[in-house]
Amino acid sequence: MLGVPTDAGTTYQPGARFAPYHVRRVSAMVQSFHPVHEVDVFAALKCVDGGNVVFPPFDRAMMREAVEGEIRQLSAAHVKPVVIGGDHSVSLPVIRALAKRHGPLAVVHLDAHLDTSTPDVWGDAHHHGTPIRHAINEGLVADGALFQVGIRGPRGGAGDDALVRQKQHTLWSPDDLAKRGIDYACAELRERIGKRPTYVTFDVDAIDPAFAPGTGTPVPGGLTSREAFQFVRGLRGLDVIGGDVVEYCPALDHADITAHLTAYLAYEVLALMAA
Ligand SMILES: [Mn+2]
């Protein structure tokens, strides 16, 4: 586990840079044995908290450089990273490092937002609304192997989904997931991804603000935390080579609801690796 404490890529309410500290604090509540996968996660895996990646918190380019460098070293040593953000801009350097090692990846992206914004939106190519566009355009994601789940709410324009559609990627809103059924959707996803190395990037705003109030760009109408767990558990069998949980913002949280959620989601990603 690595913390990446930055929110310099945030477009609305900042504060996600403090997430790793709070996830560590509540993670003492997360025990080892997974009741669904029937695996003792921390016995099956050698888990280490590698601390936080070090960079100036206000410099996004230096953050990307530091994170990519760290992940490249870990990956060369056969370590599978699980990153706690930070805002969603932390995912791009992780995906870059892993794709350099494994080739184009499958990416399972849970989020309220597409995160494929162009530089036109804010006059800047790199913020928390852009990592997926860069990952697609840099060839880090295999065609047809991106699954965006939980996307909802108004778009900036009619063409916002075009990039994702044009590469035969998949976009499931919470309603799409409910109509298909989560188990059926996961079976379809697993069949299409097959043996391809897979990265899981989990923006906590995929989950409804009722269940995840501590996040900077909330959108009503999201997944319940139960649906999210069911979905992530349904990824079992994929070759999960890394993952992240991002956009948890402690200052906006209540009673550590989102802190616990973030810690448990990270545990679910570890459980996929252990199972
Ligand atoms: Mn996001």
The pLDDT of residue 6 is: 97
195: domain CATH number? 3.40.800.10
Number of domains in the chain: 1
Distance 35 CA to ligand 1 centre (A): 29
The pLDDT of residue 166 is: 87
Distance 171 CA to ligand 1 centre (A): 14
Distance 43 CA to ligand 1 centre (A): 32
CA distance 158 to 160: 6
**Which residues crowd ion ligand 1, with CB under 5 Å?**
88, 111, 115, 203
Distance 38 CA to ligand 1 centre (A): 31
Collapse the DSSP code of 212 into the 3-class scheme (helix H, G, I; strand E, B; otherwise coil) and give the result.
coil
Distance 112 CA to ligand 1 centre (A): 7
DSSP string, 35-96: TTTTEEHHHHS------BPPS-TT-HHHHHHHHHHHHHHHHHTT---EEEESSGGGHHHHHH
Collapse the DSSP code of 250 into the 3-class scheme (helix H, G, I; strand E, B; otherwise coil) and give the result.
helix
Distance 40 CA to ligand 1 centre (A): 30
Nearest to 92 by CA among 66, 119, 73: 66
Distance 124 CA to ligand 1 centre (A): 16
Preceding amide of 85 cis, omega within 30: no
Distance 151 CA to ligand 1 centre (A): 10
Among left, alpha and beta (phi > 0; psi -120 to 50; other), residue 150 is: left
Residues with Cβ within 8 Å of residue 78, at least 6 apart in sequence: none
Distance 111 CA to ligand 1 centre (A): 5
* Residues with pLDDT less than 50, the chain: none
Distance 155 CA to ligand 1 centre (A): 14
Distance 184 CA to ligand 1 centre (A): 25
Distance 181 CA to ligand 1 centre (A): 23
Distance 180 CA to ligand 1 centre (A): 23
Domain that holds residue 29: 2-274
Q: What is the CA radius of gyration of the chain?
A: 17
Q: Give the CA-trace dihedral at 118, 121, 126, 128, to 10 degrees.
A: -100
